[in-house]
Amino acid sequence: MGFKTSAEQISDPIWKTPEQWQIKNFQDVLNPQYFRSLANSIIVVSVSMILTVIIASMAAFAFARLRFRLNAFFFSLIVASLIVPLHTTLLPIYLLTNKLHIYDTLAALIGPYVAFSIPISIFILTQFMREIPKDLAEASLIDGASIYRMFRSVYFPLARNAIVTVGIFNAVSLWNEFVFAYVLTSSPKNRTLPLAIWDFQGQYSSNIPALLASLTLSALPLMLTYFVFQEKLVSGVMAGAVKA
């Protein structure tokens, strides 16, 4: 735990409480650079999730309710993209960010984060929207609603539990994402939280108490988000279950 000294971390069992609680470990972590990295992570993850939810929900609505040629083909193509290892795209994404002159900016992370979050989001939301009764869509059409109005007023509100589930699922992955942040950023001002934690890990030595303290602090926003949206998360997961 982050309240132990370095000697206690090495000599004592992990479950043993410290002899003297070391608040200094957390004080060392809570420096200006840590708060800058925390703000960067909040910005990147929030913008990525907003874009992902908007794009994925609209695409899921189209796949679930609109009839058009190659519907099944494009949906299968999106699902098939889930098997592509993300890290195999590091080199082309790195070259692309350099050509777009956005290397070492937060925008360099938002693009890949959104792109890799969309397939699983479309898959989950499409399955959920297919369970929404067609009678609601037909009633809205009879009332004169357009396709966009049907999506905005009927499907999007009814899918809010699934949207929260998708948002939290992707947010956890992006909050802890390290490799893309390590490759696509270099300056301290653009570092995200996982890179700030990495600073406590040296080549020949590690500040283990500070490392554990930073891990504890970095997990708090996710824990808070889970407790706030716990009910909607559980409802969204249960809504996607296979009905007997």
Beta strand residue intervals within 65-204, DSSP E: none
- The pLDDT, as a whole number, for residue 204 is 44
As a whole number of angstroms, the distance between CA 145 and CA 155 comes to: 13
pLDDT score of 211 more than 80 = no
As a whole number of angstroms, the distance between CA 228 and CA 95 comes to: 39
pLDDT score of 15 more than 50 = yes
pTM of the model: 0.80
Query: Percent of the chain beyond pLDDT 90?
Result: 26
pLDDT score of 26 more than 80 = no
For 46-83, write each residue's pLDDT tens digit.
Answer: 999 999 999 999 999 999 888 888 888 999 999 888 88
Higher pLDDT, 56 or 13: 56
Stretch 215-231: mean pLDDT, rounded? 75
As a whole number of angstroms, the distance between CA 27 and CA 21 comes to: 13
**Joined tokens for residue 22:** 């070391």
Stretch 200-223: mean pLDDT, rounded? 70
Higher pLDDT, 4 or 73: 73
Q: Are 56 and 244 in contact (CB under 8 A)?
A: no
Predicted confidence band at 236 (pLDDT cuts at 50, 70, 90)? low
pLDDT score of 187 more than 80 = yes
- What domains are defined for the chain? 37-75+85-193 (1.10.3720.10)
Residues in CB range of 20: below 8 A, 6 or more apart: 5
As a whole number of angstroms, the distance between CA 98 and CA 151 comes to: 37
For the chain, the average pLDDT equals 81
Taking CB atoms within 8 Å and a gap of at least 24, the contacts of 147-153 are 147/66, 150/65, 151/57, 151/58, 151/61
**Joined tokens for residue 207:** 């500040």
Higher pLDDT, 63 or 213: 63
H/E segment holding residue 188? none
Stretch 182-198: mean pLDDT, rounded? 87
pLDDT score of 103 more than 80 = yes
pLDDT score of 18 more than 80 = no
As a whole number of angstroms, the distance between CA 150 and CA 132 comes to: 12
For 114-144, write each residue's pLDDT tens digit.
Answer: 999 999 999 989 988 888 888 887 788 888 8
- The pLDDT, as a whole number, for residue 99 is 93
Residues in CB range of 123: below 8 A, 6 or more apart: 78, 79, 82
- The pLDDT, as a whole number, for residue 242 is 43
